[in-house]
Structure 1
Amino acid sequence: MSLGIKASGQAKAADTVKGGVAPSVIRRLSLMGFLDSHPGLLGWFLAGPTFLLAVGIVFYPILYGLLVSFYDVHMLRAGVPKFAAMVQGLFGAKVEGLPKFLGLGNYLKVFTDRQLQRAIGASLILTSINVPLDLIFAMIVALVLNQDFPGRGIVRSVVILSWATPGVINAILWKLMLRSDGIVNGVLLGLHLIKEPVTWLFSTTWAFFWVIVANLWKGSPFSALILLAGMQTVPQELYEAAEIDGAGPWARFWNITLPHLRYPITLLVILGVIGGLTSFELLYILTGGGPANSTLVMAYYVFNHAIQWDNLGYSSALSFWLSGVVTIFGVLYWRLASRRDEE
């Protein structure tokens, strides 16, 4: 018993130093001091787990898709090729079960794909119509919400509902409303604007129109909030001085409000183009790319090649083409906007 007490006392004595501080505490303090004196290492220490997670979730799939784009991959025929096997195939190694190596064949096929050209045209039309209309409607809503009136908070909450609704649910609601027995036909029949129900989504003209309307319904509230936030940063003294000088509402908007919204508008244009070129879920549920491929846009065409037509290699190449176009546009537009500000 005495030996146990003596050993315990020796252990406690060994775990203390001058001043009564345990060595374990000193080690922790020295580690924090080392990291504090090396901020670069501290950053890697804190961001390391997140970086590894991003590599596994983001960068690995991108690299795998890039490798797939160099091969003639058909999942239903031969399954999904392994990453290591495709890397070996790039260097000329013959691996059993590896799909045919095409090099840049999938990328060059883009220039001769007539259906892809029609899909690009549909995407450009959708984007060129949707982006300006989105900015116009969002600007009107933001100007109204920027005024001081009773119930403004409630109105803001109602406006944001359509944006807060998940995209799939939003598309399903529009599809139900546009049925032959839906609310749209019911209202138009009640107003005697049409004589019989219209099958909106089976018309090559009306289907595209309603896709644009549904896009605006979903996206305009978000754009309005961005513009509203920009408006509330404008100093009120500028409006007061302009009003004293006799400037009307239009002059105040054109010379004060709009110049202060350059960056929000630039951001919304970039996001609108990206959204238009990559639009998928609304079209998938609402029209399925039809009728007669009239609403078949680029993102949906990529999906068809990957899932419907089992051509994973070509769809991967299309994805990288699309990503490159979107990235280049975003960079060029942002630089152009920045250059205008400098001038």
Structure 2
Amino acid sequence: MRRGRGKRDVRAPRPGRLPGQRWYTPYLFPLPALILFGVFFAWPAITAIQLSFFEWDAISEPVFVGAGNFVRLMGDDRFWTGLGNSLLFLVGMFPLLVVVPLLLAVLVNQRLPGIKTFRMLYYLPVVTSMVAVGVAWEYVFNQQGVLNWILTGFGVLDQPIQYLLDPVWALPALVLVEGWKSMGVFMMIYLAGLQTIPTNLYEAAKVDGASAWHRLRHITVPLIVPYIAVTLTMEMLEAMQVFTSVYVMTQGGPQDSTLTLGYYIWSAAFQKYDMGYASAMGLVLWVLLILMALANYRITKGRTVTP
């Protein structure tokens, strides 16, 4: 077909592409994020999986041992102690990070005087360094600290307790610190969910004579199941990877009563320079977290209620 003189050959752009747009333009936008993902997640993860089959001290040449690190792991009492303590963290932090924040979110969702200030103050521990939080709580749990002063003053205790040096009390103390610091994040997640619930549902329930407990049970909880699923997953991840509070406050003691899997992996890698064994434990922890997340997904799947 002969083109007219002086007329440009204007071709229609392909569907989904703007005029003058190159085929590779859409791929440039996610490229920085993909590079960061590859450098800081994918490459370290692949390297850690490879190292789990080697014996390496970070200096000499790696020696291939196959499944030797995993066999060693099965007979390591400290590994099982760390795993058990991590599971205790998971159980202990459940009410602090899943149940209590929901009740706090219901409270701060009310139109009460000074409620915005309360939200801000309750969120402050979240943005505070865990190192600073750990040092501050060490003074609280000290034998001459605030907690013992209050409990002995009210006659609850006859003698002060050195909580962080007592195998019975050290782990609950760390659970309390971890839960207190992270509670604000979970409260905000629930608050976002509560603000999506139509107020007319609560008004209708009040007209029908439903109590606050029944409104919470039959309206609030069913409608924020997706948010509960998110908090459950986050709580699992946080509890199973507890490290900083243990490092700052107890170093896994006394008598390994606060030894968590996260701290034991760090100790094997950066104190004993047993990189292969640490990678094997990290791989096991990674698989456990995936299984927990999948179990949480299966439990909460299909329970979402549309308002």
- Measured against the shorter chain, the TM-score band is 0.7 to 0.9
Name the structure where helix makes up a greater proportion of residues: 1
Change over 3 Å in CA distance of 1:60–1:158 after alignment to 2: same
Match of residue 289 from structure 2: 326
For residue 187 of structure 1, report the CA deviation from its aligned partner.
Answer: 2.6
Matched residues in 1 for 2:190 and 2:247: separation?
30
Match of residue 24 from structure 1: none
Letter in 1 for 2:29: L
Match of residue 149 from structure 1: 112
Equivalent residues in 2 for 1:211-250, closer than 5 Å = 211-250=174-213
Match of residue 89 from structure 1: none
Task: Tell me whether 1:186 sits opposite 2:169 in the alignment.
Answer: no
Runs (5+) with no aligned partner, structure 2: 1-5, 7-16
Match of residue 93 from structure 2: 130
Runs of 4+ in 1 over 4 A off after TM superposition: none
Letter in 2 for 1:138: P
Matched residues in 2 for 1:143 and 1:32: separation?
48
Matched residues in 2 for 1:341 and 1:197: separation?
48
- Out of 9, 34, 43, the position equivalent to 1:60 is 43
Match of residue 166 from structure 2: 203
SS at match of 2:69: helix
Q: TM-score, normalised by structure 2?
A: 0.88
SS at match of 1:33: coil
- Out of 29, 33, 39, the position equivalent to 2:19 is 33
Matched residues in 2 for 1:125 and 1:180: separation?
24
Letter in 2 for 1:35: Q
SS at match of 2:65: coil
Matched residues in 1 for 2:205 and 2:283: separation?
50
Matched residues in 2 for 1:332 and 1:35: separation?
44
- Out of 80, 93, 113, the position equivalent to 1:117 is 80
Of stretches 314-323 and 213-222 in structure 1, the one that deviates more from structure 2 is 213-222
Equivalent residues in 2 for 1:54-93, closer than 5 Å = 54-75=37-58, 79=59
Matched residues in 2 for 1:215 and 1:52: separation?
33
Deviations, residues 255-311 of structure 1 (Å, cap 9, x unaligned): 111111101111111110111111100111111111000010111111111122221
Task: Tell me whether 1:49 sits opposite 2:12 in the alignment.
Answer: no
Of stretches 207-216 and 99-108 in structure 1, the one that deviates more from structure 2 is 99-108
Match of residue 86 from structure 1: none
SS at match of 1:259: helix
Matched residues in 1 for 2:229 and 2:120: separation?
25
Matched residues in 2 for 1:239 and 1:53: separation?
45
Task: Tell me whether 1:295 sits opposite 2:258 in the alignment.
Answer: yes
Letter in 2 for 1:155: F
Match of residue 87 from structure 1: none
Of stretches 260-269 and 129-138 in structure 1, the one that deviates more from structure 2 is 129-138
Match of residue 286 from structure 1: 249
Letter in 2 for 1:198: I
Letter in 1 for 2:19: G
Letter in 2 for 1:201: L
Letter in 2 for 1:293: D
Matched residues in 2 for 1:126 and 1:56: separation?
31
Match of residue 26 from structure 1: none
Matched residues in 2 for 1:242 and 1:193: separation?
43
Q: TM-score, normalised by structure 1?
A: 0.79
Matched residues in 2 for 1:123 and 1:133: separation?
15
- Greater RCO (Cα-Cα under 8 Å, separation 6 or more): 2
Task: Tell me whether 1:257 sits opposite 2:238 in the alignment.
Answer: no
Aligned residues between the structures: 291
Structure showing greater Rg: 1
Letter in 1 for 2:94: V
RMSD after superposition = 2.2
Deviations, residues 33-53 of structure 1 (Å, cap 9, x unaligned): 3436x4xx2221222233233
Of stretches 65-74 and 232-241 in structure 1, the one that deviates more from structure 2 is 65-74
Matched residues in 1 for 2:92 and 2:120: separation?
27
Matched residues in 1 for 2:114 and 2:69: separation?
57
For residue 180 of structure 1, report the CA deviation from its aligned partner.
Answer: 2.2
Of stretches 201-210 and 329-338 in structure 1, the one that deviates more from structure 2 is 329-338
Matched residues in 2 for 1:180 and 1:56: separation?
46
Of stretches 168-177 and 50-59 in structure 1, the one that deviates more from structure 2 is 50-59
Match of residue 309 from structure 1: 272
Deviations, residues 118-175 of structure 1 (Å, cap 9, x unaligned): 1111111121121134322212211211111111111111111122212121111111
SS at match of 1:291: coil
SS at match of 1:204: coil
Calculate percent identity across the aligned residue pairs: 27
Matched residues in 1 for 2:216 and 2:304: separation?
18
For residue 32 of structure 1, report the CA deviation from its aligned partner.
Answer: 7.5
For residue 243 of structure 1, report the CA deviation from its aligned partner.
Answer: 1.5
Task: Tell me whether 1:140 sits opposite 2:123 in the alignment.
Answer: no
